[in-house]
Amino acid sequence: MSALQSVASPSNSALDSIVGRIDEISTLPHVAVKVMQVANDPTSDAGDLTMAMESDASLSARVLRCVNSSAYATRRKITNLQQAIAYLGTKQIRNLAITAAVSELFKDDEMIGKYCRPDLWKHLVSVGICARMIAKRVGSNEGEDIFLAGLLHDIGIVLEDQHVHGTFCRVVESLREGTSLPASERNTFGFDHTMMGQKIGELWGFPDSVKSAIRYHHMSTTYRGTDGMTVRCVEVANLICSLRGITSVGLQLVNFSQSAFSGLKLTKADIGSLDAELDDELQAHQGLFHV
């Protein structure tokens, strides 16, 4: 049984219809979907990942630029993807490739009230980085998978903005501090961004842990699968970043979850250290914000 089968997948006619249209036009760049599939296939190797990425020369160049940035402290310049994979490993290169590909969805900086797409992109990358930091602090060796879950946790917001834009504008314009984004979405759309993100993740072959984090990052207490660590890391990272003003829709709407902190066994000292270290970590990975 997969991690998501412990709770029924959300389904309604409006959601299914929109997701079907999105899948038909492949909103996420094809190369990102291919990279995800290759990296998650246990029979694939570094050569398969290289071939998948080399189909997009621009993406490959951006990944190599990131690898050669100060964040990765390479002793000599990495000049090709095979070297990059050997140096950083399959999962880090997968994450850089998907980050570069997904960033293409944010080229238009349209604003709706306090919401703007570049700020949502900053939120996604920041939550990914923070979630990986939390994973390391609690002793998890799944940091790169947890980064990916953080990076994609709000992919549903991106898709709502693109594919039901007029209605999405009304939702965003109705938001106030203290309101709930998922509740506002359900009242208007009949579904929310976590439901849409999970559905798309199923169609596009996201790892189970990523789909779990997408669906449950606002409600880890209701999650009953095997990816609880990932879900809690993303939920806590989402809160930390939102409280620091790095929000998804321009307002701080995320509620504190004691159970998520308790489930990770994070102390006040841990939170203080994470908060103090986050600025340096975000600065070190500035290249991810501009791939």
What is the spatial distance between Cα 62 and Cα 53, in angstroms, rounded to a whole number? 11
- DSSP, collapsed to helix, strand or coil, labels residue 270 as helix
**Segment 37-91, tens digit of pLDDT:** 898 888 999 999 999 999 889 889 999 999 998 888 888 999 999 999 999 999 9
Determine, yes or no, domain membership for 83: yes
Whichever domain contains 52, its CATH number is 1.10.3210.10
Determine, yes or no, domain membership for 2: no
**Segment 152-175, tens digit of pLDDT:** 999 999 999 989 999 999 999 999
Determine, yes or no, domain membership for 32: yes
Determine, yes or no, domain membership for 6: no
**Segment 100-145, tens digit of pLDDT:** 988 888 877 778 989 999 999 999 999 999 999 999 999 999 999 9
Asked whether the predicted pLDDT for residue 4 surpasses 80, the reply is no
The total number of structural domains that make up the chain: 1
Q: Which two tokens stand for residue 279?
A: 């600025």
The pLDDT value given to residue 80? 94
The domain of 234 spans: 11-290
- Give the global pTM: 0.90
Determine, yes or no, domain membership for 75: yes
CA distance readout (Å), 144 to 30, 91, 172: 21, 6, 31
CA distance readout (Å), 145 to 24, 54, 122, 284: 27, 22, 19, 20
The pLDDT value given to residue 177? 86
**By mean pLDDT, which of 105-109, 144-148, 285-289 is the weakest?**
105-109
- DSSP, collapsed to helix, strand or coil, labels residue 115 as strand
**CA nearest to 122, candidates 93, 164, 154:** 154
Burial degree of 244 (CB within 10 A; 0-12, 13-18, 19+): middle
Determine, yes or no, domain membership for 45: yes
Determine, yes or no, domain membership for 3: no
16 neighbors 41 (Cβ within 8 angstroms): no
Determine, yes or no, domain membership for 5: no
Burial degree of 282 (CB within 10 A; 0-12, 13-18, 19+): buried
Mean pLDDT of the chain: 90
The pLDDT value given to residue 23? 73
